[in-house]
Structure 1
């Protein structure tokens, strides 16, 4: 049973002290130690439409935190801790947010989400909030932002995969974490410069992800795709349909088709055919079975069709392989 922390429980100690993107310039550091765990937040508002917050927490038991948003903004969010599971309270969809992933998107006033955190697992997030018009100014000349398909879309939020957090971003995030805790005015200028550098790096890093037209695959997606591959191998004579395979692998059909090719370099049925033919080739080279038997073992009922696609794959017919093997035996 997970502990539930409502937004009301956290409002007085956290939310009232945090600023919105269009708030005045200023810093705030918040530390909480309660019976549910420990939370540390460093918060900074630039005064010109950008805010930054780091959120570090450790919960003493499995915990669900209710998050309420009371303003419209765009955002960049970085997860540098453990995997977090986010759920939109309006449409009940759950999203897995893996470590070392940067997300971007828009959220609107009234959005409520639930984040699930495991017991004694370090939570470490960085959040950059923007005035909507300002973020659009930053990205208006970046065509890749216009082509992004939402990773997650709720009634009052849209989340996109931005990029895997690279070495440059990690360095900047660490600098922000250290500097945001300091009170010196010169350090505040340094903090602002690092924040702007991180924004620049993150806005431009989305380019490299979208050039290959790849989709974001979480660790759970990858596990599901490997499960799909295993199911295909175990059922080569009677493979499931794409719909059945998606259901058995616990992944949606779009991610199955797109993600399978991205992960394994071939389509679902392209992989199946390649696996079947490679297995048939080994069987024929062993010289223990005939062509019809090899064809049936790997799931082809028509031996002539099998021979045709076999030649397309290897440039040699099954019969020629059998002849070569006989020659090796008797020559």
Structure 2
């Protein structure tokens, strides 16, 4: 698997892209820092199915083949196909971070053609060359999706193991993206405005920055200016889990990564992530992963 890092600095800003490529797969992580508002044309001629994940930042883009304009707030995802890809991207925030997966048309069909009804219908459109999106509404990036993307970005393997690992994670993201779209279909919306969505995303970022000493629900509400009812229901709508559930997932996923990729002991990880006692951490970890922290520490 070829890994390519590209960095560019010009009058419009700073751009960094890391890509992992095979003949049938391209995975990319992109961070853009803009000096101001820009209109950037992007054209591709490759015949691929794209999974797009907007991790941070607000932007809009016009997609020529789909004949649609999308106005997107950070933390969104969808799947799309078109013969050719011509868009005009317009950033609304100084930083935009995205993650993308491109399956070749043939490989995507081989993986998804006999899946559930939603993916089967999508595959039929792809086979016929029809421009299509998996869901008319962009889904959010739930904790499961967020965790898998983080695993790809921080992949601990190299060589052939890295290729197997990244392919397995891309297939996992394909399943999670389709599952998220299906779960969101027809659900009542509590978060109605763009401003509400930006506040909910700010809550997620606040939690991620304070895993060791998380704020209370009332503190969060005051910080972002949102009542607790809308906060709780809005968060669950966007991320498909409660605020407490998200915090628990992020703590444990971070703990697993520390135990696997660093020399920190289980007790050190427990302390760093704010657990009251190592035993409390041990119990929560075993319930989540089915093994003790020390087993992961001793068998990375």
Compared CA separation, residues 55 and 208, structure 1 to 2 (3 A): closer
- SS where residue 210 of structure 1 aligns? helix
Gaps of 5+ in 1: 1-24, 149-154, 227-262, 264-331
* Kept in 2: contact 1:63–1:119 (CA 8 A): no
- Cα distance in 2 for partners of 1:198, 1:206 equals 12
Q: Tell me whether 1:84 sits opposite 2:59 in the alignment.
A: yes
- Cα distance in 2 for partners of 1:32, 1:46 equals 23
Q: Tell me whether 1:124 sits opposite 2:97 in the alignment.
A: yes
Which residue does 1:96 correspond to in 2? Answer: 71
Q: What TM-score does the superposition give when structure 2 sets the normalisation length? A: 0.54
Which residue does 1:203 correspond to in 2? Answer: 175
- Cα distance in 2 for partners of 1:129, 1:82 equals 21
Compared CA separation, residues 163 and 157, structure 1 to 2 (3 A): same
Compared CA separation, residues 93 and 127, structure 1 to 2 (3 A): same
- Cα distance in 1 for partners of 2:193, 2:107 equals 38
Which residue does 1:114 correspond to in 2? Answer: 88
Gaps of 5+ in 2: 123-128, 197-232, 234-300
- Cα distance in 1 for partners of 2:59, 2:14 equals 17
Q: Which protein is bigger by CA-based radius of gyration?
A: 1
Matches within 5 A, 1:1-331: 25-47=1-23, 49-89=24-64, 93-109=68-84, 111-120=85-94, 122-140=95-113, 141-146=115-120, 157-161=131-135, 163-179=139-155, 186=158, 189-190=161-162, 192-210=164-182, 213-214=185-186, 222-223=192-193
- Cα distance in 1 for partners of 2:158, 2:189 equals 41
- Cα distance in 2 for partners of 1:31, 1:102 equals 25
* Kept in 1: contact 2:48–2:104 (CA 8 A): yes
Aligned residues: 188
Deviations 1:124-148 (A, max 9, x none): 1111001112112222222122457
- Cα distance in 2 for partners of 1:45, 1:216 equals 39
- Cα distance in 1 for partners of 2:184, 2:67 equals 31
Deviations 1:168-209 (A, max 9, x none): 221221232234xxxx97267336514422422432442354
Shift of 1:166: 1.9
Deviations 1:205-251 (A, max 9, x none): 423542564279797xx239x9xxxxxxxxxxxxxxxxxxxxxxxxx
Q: What TM-score does the superposition give when structure 1 sets the normalisation length? A: 0.49
- SS where residue 138 of structure 1 aligns? helix
Greater than 6 Å deviation, 4+ residue runs: 215-219
Compared CA separation, residues 69 and 212, structure 1 to 2 (3 A): closer
* Kept in 1: contact 2:43–2:86 (CA 8 A): yes
